[in-house]
Structures are given as C-alpha cells and as structure tokens.
Amino acid sequence: MKAFSLNRRLILAVVASQLLLGAGLVLVGTSFSKHYLRRAFDVFLQGRAESMAALVYYRDDGVPGLLFNNAKIPPSRHRVHKDLFLVQSDRDNLLRYSPGFDPAMLGRIPANARFWRFHYKGAPYRAIILRKVGILDTEEGEPLPLPTLTVVYAAPTMDIDQQVSMLGVTIGLVSLLVLIPTLILAVWSIRRALTPLNDLVAAASTVSVDRWSFEPSQEARSTRELKPLIDAMQTVLSGLEEAFTRQREFLGDAAHELKTSLAILKSTLQRLLNKPREREEYERGLAIMNGDCLRLERLLNRMLQSARAEQRIAKGHEQEPEPVEVAATCEGALARMAQFAAERDVRLEFIPEGEATVRAEAADLELIWLNLLENAVQYSPRGSVVTVKVCAETGMAKVSVLDQGCGIEAAHLPHIFQRFYRADSSRARATGGFGLGLAISKSLVDFYRGRIDIESAPGRGTCVTVELPAEPGARGEGGGSRDRAASISR
C-alpha cells in the first residue's frame, strides 16, 4: 500500500472544506440575491403594467370607444433594448402596443400564466400579464358590462443577470480574502497539533531489540487522544521485551542443558576409548551413556511439549472443547505416575471432595497433573505421601497437589514457573528435572483462563493449586466421592 502523509491529508481536508464553504456562500448568496432581485423586478413590472392600464380612457365626444394616451408612456430603463407593452380591450375597439412590439408575438402569449419569459432580438425578457383589468376612467351611460383590458408589459432582464454575476464575483473575492488567512491559521494549527504525534513517532523509532526504552515527550503524554495509544504501546513493548528476554534465556538454558548432556556423553565415550578395558567396564560405561541419552531424550520431549503449548496458546481454540470431568483426568495421571512413585517408595493419594467439569482437552489437563505429580514425587522423601485433592468452589474447579518434600525457599517462589528455573540446581541431575514441567503447566492453565499458585516453605513441603473455570452444575463433597477416594488410596 502506498504511504501517505497524515499532515498533508488534514491540510487538504481543511482546504477542501474551506473551498466548499466559499462555494456554498457564493451559491447561497447568488441564489437569494437572484430571488429577491426577481421579486423586485416583478413588482416593477406590476407597477408599469398598471400604469399602462391607467392610460386608457373613454372618449369625451359621446362616441362609444376607448382611447390611449401615448404621451404618458413611461420611458424604458434600457437604452438599447426597449421595454415592450401591449394593451388590448376585450371588445376589440382598442389595441395598442409599443413601437418595437411584433404583432406575431400575440400568438405566443401564455393562456393562463401570469409571467412570461422569452427572447426578443437576442435579449432575455420577462413579462407580466394582467387580465380583466378594469378601466380607471368612468363614463356615465356606458352599457354594461363595462369593458376590461389585457395588459402585457415586458422588460429586459440582462441587468438582473449582470447584478447577480457581479454579486457572485464579489462574494467569491471576499470569501477568498477570508480563506487565505484562515488556511494559514489552519495549516499552522494542524502542524502544531501534530507535534506530539511526531514526537511519539520519533520516540517509537528508537525502540529496537537492543533498546526497549520508550520515552515519549511530556507534551505527547499530556495529549488526551494519545494517552491510550502510549499506554498500549508501553504495555506491548513491555510484553515484547519480556518475551524476547524469555526467548533468549530459553535458548541459552536449552543450549546449556544440551551441551551439558552432550559433554557427559562425550566424556564417558572418551573414557571408554582412552585405553582397552574389561567387558564389565564397557557395559557400565554404555549403561551410563544410555542413561544420559534417556535424559537427553526427556529434555527434548519437554522442550517439544513447551513449544507445542505455546503454539496452542498463540493459535487459540480452533473449536470449543467438550466438557471433561476433572477427577477422571486426575485418575489418569495418577495411574500413569504409579510406577514412577513406586520406584521411589512414594505413596499416591487421591481425595475427590466434589465433582467438577471444565471445558478443556483431557490430554492437556492430564499433562498438567503429570508435571505437578512428577515434581512432587521427585522431591519427596521415601515413605512419604503425595496427595491430589479435587473440589469445586464458587464456579471454579480446584485441584491441589501436596507433597512432604524439602520445600522451596521464599526467594525462589516468584521464579518457579520460569522455564529451566530450578530452586536447587545441584539436585537436577539426581532427580532428572529440567525446570520445564511447571512452566508447561502454567502455560496450559493460562490458556484455559485459569490460575496456578504455589505455597511452600523449607522443611514443610509444597502445595500447588490449580483453579479452572467450572461448568455450571459442579457439586460439592458427597458420598460417592469418598468411596472413590478410599478405593484409590488402597
């Protein structure tokens, strides 16, 4: 798309609006002027026509008939194009017209119209037609009905057109004189008003992946229309900076984990190749290498799970998930974790205190519980118990995973959901953890508009609580739930 200038568009819009305003003033002014000039002209024609009718009088010698006083005909206003008139009696004993009047025009007079527009000798004329006009002169003994007159009086209208044209030009020139300073003021005001926006653009242009500082000017901050945009940009940039930082940390931590695992593999292999060894030594070395390969495979699987979780969040729901019972997904996760817990002599306990249903993918929920259970079992001492509790509270499905492990110091709790973060990195290889399980769980919980919290203290164990929006109809504690808890505990 072709770039455009907002400043230029605003100036062009102001110029166009001012030109339209000027054109409107000219149009309205000329229209009203033409209307009132024509009304005045019609009054003039009315007066002239009535004065022509007043020039008709009866004969004084007793002979029937009408006479017309040619000596008192009013002069024409225009020196070249003379006024035209026609005075005719209904008894056909009087017909007078101006010297320049063409008798052939009698057939063109409108039958019922009061006014008549025509061209005569290249000039526009407007005429008024008065019908059945009484004679002002009186004569006794005149037989009834008294005669009436038809009077036509026409005058050229080019003066009106010239006056209207001159008035339009005058209004246009005055509008132009007013328009020039107005445009200058408008252009200055637009440029001045766009200064905060230009400052904002300049501040935004300094932002890069190496410099996330966004500092608009105080004038831009104090502009009411720009404040929501500035707040939104600061929020977006803050999120981008955090995302870039997490991405860099993720790449660095992933590279470190992979390098560590490969270094261990390489050192074990070099030790075996350093000199000939007994079969038992080779077998022990290969067993160590196999364990390191399994650890590397688990790391790659966790990284893949983390990437898939972020892709799910970015794409959103392709379609609304079906309702799934939370307790059933917890039971599935407990069943898959049973052997892992038995190898570490940790007992799993399930306490469903209510029935809750949420709209989510069952596989995603099971992955959340698996990650939480794996962490709980890994950091629990032998002979301890890991408890999973499910309940429904105020429209939320609540799942708690409690262990009796070593606990986490308060300084580590704000960072515990970050990828590759481990509160005790010295135990990472012994437990097999990578610091990805809680990060994956939090991503999935956020995706389903839930909340995950952790409470822990050194020597007091850890409790991770997940709350997800429940479907209507979730029930609290019941007998069926206690029976299920007993069966699983055994």
Question: How do residues 263-276 score in pLDDT, each as one tens digit?
Answer: 777 887 887 788 78
Convert the pLDDT of each residue in 289-321 to its tens digit.
887 787 677 667 766 766 666 666 666 655 678
What's the pLDDT score for residue 481? Answer: 43
Residue 93's CB is within 10 A of a number of other CB atoms, namely 11
The residues, ordered by sequence, that sit 6+ positions from 67 with a Cβ below 8 Å of its Cβ are 56, 57, 58, 59, 94
User: How much is the average pLDDT of 188-204?
Assistant: 81
Convert the pLDDT of each residue in 20-77 to its tens digit.
888 888 888 888 888 888 899 999 999 999 998 999 888 777 677 788 888 888 888 8
Convert the pLDDT of each residue in 210-226 to its tens digit.
777 777 888 777 778 77
What's the pLDDT score for residue 45? Answer: 92
Convert the pLDDT of each residue in 374-401 to its tens digit.
888 988 899 999 999 999 888 889 999 9
Between 155-169, 187-201, 242-256, 373-387, the lowest mean confidence (pLDDT) is in: 242-256
Q: How far is CA 202 from the centre of its chain?
A: 24
The bridge status of strand 148-156 relative to strand 66-68 is unpaired
The residue ranking higher by pLDDT, 292 or 185, is: 185
Per the CB < 8 A criterion, the answer to whether 92 and 116 are in contact is no
User: How much is the average pLDDT of 404-415?
Assistant: 81
Mean pLDDT of the chain: 80
Per the CB < 8 A criterion, the answer to whether 344 and 380 are in contact is yes
Residue 29 is classified by DSSP as H
SS (H, E, C) 100-162: CCCHHHHHHCCCCCCEEEEEECCEEEEEEEEEEEECCCCCCCCCCCCCEEEEEEEEECHHHHH
Predicted confidence (pLDDT) at residue 428 exceeds the cutoff of 60: no
Report, in angstroms and rounded to the nearest whole number, the Rg of the chain calculated over CA atoms. 51
Q: How far is CA 322 from CA 317, 362, 449, in A?
A: 12, 9, 16
Q: State both tokens at 374.
A: 């794996």
- Select from 32, 277, 350, 17 the least CA-distant residue to 168: 32
Is this model's pTM higher than 0.85 or not? Answer: no
- Select from 120, 142, 115, 117 the least CA-distant residue to 57: 142
